[in-house]
Structures are given as structure tokens and as C-alpha cells.
Structure 1
Amino acid sequence: MAAVKRRQTIVRKPKQSRSKATVAAILEAAAQILAKEGWDGFNTNVVAQRAGVSIGSLYEYFPNKQALVDAIADDHLSKGEALMSAASTSLVPTAEPAVIVRVLVNGIVELHKDDPQLHRVLSSEVPISSIIRGRVDELRDTVIKGIADALKHHIGQNRIAAQLLFDVADAAVHRWVIEDDGALAEPERLAEQLQDMMCAYLKATKERT
């Protein structure tokens, strides 16, 4: 899968070790507060206090709480890109449908398992900027293209199948892991069920063509 171009979301990029440590502390504190308090309880003064920095230091890198949220979302998306990039090495031309499905589902499950409470706030409460929304769309398109390329060796309508597989997996995992707190099934069990369903779909699609 092709790499998704990253965009800078902070005011000034830290260059020295001390500056990088300050930004890391600010973002860690911001993510903790956002996950616990939600958007309404999230403000820069509280973040600065939790991070152990002055409000002036925080504003050197983040002019407002929207910039902070965008940076948190940027980090979350970067993890998703890294997961999918690593998983894509399995999507060789000879990969079987079951392998393709497993790569997709496990990647989405792993991404959603990473701090589900923060994920819930980011997806339902926070006003994400157009830049971050653009990155979300790019990541989705990149994953779908990678799956479609792998599927073209097995079925005819590979692009439609790839988009359907991604959207179903993303929606189901988000609903069960993020919104329902995994109450219905453990993520690993959900992954197994999704893989069985998707493999059956691909088999039926191949038989019709």
C-alpha cells in the first residue's frame, strides 16, 4: 500500500530533545484528558497543568485545543498507517482470499483496540478539522486500493468487493469495540467471525463470475 502523505498539525516543529519531550508530554496529557473528560471537559489550561508545562509553552506548539485534538488524531492515524503498511507485506499477488481478509480484519481490530475510550471521543464528540478528515479518507482509499489489487487475482469486481469488505469490517469493529465496549464479544472473537463471513462472501462472488 502506498504511504499516505502526512501534514503538520502543530505550530512549530520541535527540533531539540527538550522541545520534543515537551510536545510529547503535552500530547500525552491531552490524550488522557480528552479520553476521560470528553470534548466539553477539554481545555488547554488543564492540559498544560497535567503536562507540567506553562500555558505559554503549550501555545508555542499548539495555538488552541483544536490544534491539540488534530495532533492527537494525527498520531492515531499514523498508528493506523503503520499497522496497514506492515500488514500489506502479506498482500502479494499469490495471497489467498483468506490471507487478504485476515490482513484487513486484524489490522482494523488492532487499530480500534488502541485506547478505545479515546477513539470513541475522537469519532463522536470532537470537531475534527478538514485536514484530518482528508487524512482519514486517504487512509481508507489506500487500504481499499491495496485490498482491491490483491483481490484482482481472484475475482472480477475486485474494487467493489474491497470497498465492501473494508466498510463492513470498519463499521462492525467500531460498533462492537468502541461503542459497545466489547461487551458482545472479545475483539479476537469478532475478528474470527468477520473473517468467516467475508471469506464466504468472496467464495460466493468468485463462483458467480
Structure 2
Amino acid sequence: MPRKPIDKPAQEPAEPVLRVALPAPQRKRPRQARSVALVAALKITGREILEREGRAALTVHRLAEHAGVAISSIYEYFPTMESLVAAIFDDYRSEARVEVIASIRALPDSACLMDGIELLLHTGLAALQRWLRLDSELSIKTVYQAELVRLDMVRGDGFWVSQVIPALVERFSTEVRVRDRELAGFLAYQAVTALPRALVIERPDFLQQEQTVRLLARMLHGLLTADSESVSES
């Protein structure tokens, strides 16, 4: 009699793997004044097209025409249009950092910590919403990449918020009443980076709601002002 085939154990389904295909980086950094001016012109022109006409309008031929440069000169620095948009987004983040720190320091003497927190959140959430509108696909890719960096799974540059939180604490130091400022600062930093990214990925519609700013602001304010003894006794 023929042998009955032995049933093989069912294989467990493979764990889902998240693969984030990031845009190719800029090929090289300009060093001479002429090349620095060229890259700056490409980013400025690309930004104008992106903001005025949308992502679909930003093609290499359109960029070359408006910037008045050869296509080969564009590819010398940016292998794809997505890599150019990524460089533009890097500029947006740098500008947001400078803007919010300057705005926090420029708040009037009558301002309080909550004013600074709300300013930070309004600026950050508005920026995320703007980037989603300009290039939603790249924005979401960038958010996933940033989360991997935050979790120390891949290497990357520091986040602009890491400089903003210390500026906020310095400006309103008399209101920050926690004993362990390092702990409070760490929790505030994680909250103000991870939660907005979760909004981008899962509920981008919440970015537009004023209630989102108020709820996040209360949480951050509580982290930075809760007295450690009263917390331990409650």
C-alpha cells in the first residue's frame, strides 16, 4: 500500500515588515560659490513650483526651464525630483526651528509657559499639515523614517524639537517646577515628536483641529509644571 503522505506543519505567517523607500540623497554638496548658487536656485525654483502648482507640476524639464539651467546640471546634484523635494523639506524644517525659537524668545513679558507651548504646537502642526498638502507621499515616508530614528533603529540627524524644548524651558524657567527636569524634558520631547507623527500617519484630519493643540498643550504643560512631591503623594 502506498504510504500516506506526512502532513507538514503549517507555517506561521511571516511577520509584516515595514519597508520605507526614502528618496535618493543629494549626490554631492556644493563647495564653490557658483555651485552653491546653482543648488540654491534649484531649491528656490522647485519650492516656487511646488507651492504654486503642486507636486505633479514639479518635473525636471519644468525645473530646468524655470531655473534656466541644463537638465544635466540638475542631475549632477539631485538624482530625482523626490530628492529635491526632500532637500526643500529639510529647509522647511530648519526654517521652522529658527522661527519657533525666535518667536518663543520674542513673546512679551506677560506671556506664560502655556503661551509658549501653544506657539510651538501651532507652528509644528501647521508645518506638518502644509508638507502633507505639498507632497503627502514623501511626508509620510519622512515620518516613518523619523520614527525609526527616534527609536534608535536607524541613524539620522537630530530633530528640530530637540532644540525647541530647551528654548521653551529656558524662556519660562520660573514656571517649570519639576524636580527632575531631565525626565520631564525627555517625556515632553517624546510627546511632541511621536504624537504629531502619529497624527500624520493615522489621523491627519486631527492636525486641523484647534482641540488637538489644546489637548497636547495641557499634557505638555502638566509634564513641565507638575510638582514631583504632589505627584508622588496623589
TM-score (norm 2): 0.58
Alignment map for 1:15-54 (pairs within 5 Å): 21-26=41-46, 47-53=59-65, 54=70
Alpha-carbon RMSD across the aligned residues, in angstroms, is 4.0
Alignment map for 1:90-169 (pairs within 5 Å): 90=106, 95-116=111-132, 117=136, 118-124=138-144, 133-134=156-157, 137=158, 139-154=160-175, 155=177, 156-169=179-192
Structure with greater contact order relative to length (CA < 8 Å, sep ≥ 6) = 1
Distance 1:84 1:191 in 2: 15
Aligned to 2:7: none
Distance 1:199 1:190 in 2: 14
Shift of 1:14: 1.3
Q: Which has the larger radius of gyration?
A: 2
Task: State whether residues 105 and 191 of structure 1, in contact with CA within 8 Å, keep that contact through their aligned partners in structure 2.
Answer: yes
Aligned to 1:179: 201
Instruction: Decide whether aligned partners of structure 1 residues 148 and 192 sit closer, same or farther in structure 2, where only a CA change above 3 A counts.
Output: same
Instruction: Decide whether aligned partners of structure 1 residues 31 and 93 sit closer, same or farther in structure 2, where only a CA change above 3 A counts.
Output: closer
Shift of 1:101: 2.3
Q: Which segments of 5 or more consecutive residues in structure 1 lack a partner in the other structure?
A: 1-8, 37-45
- Identical positions, percent: 17
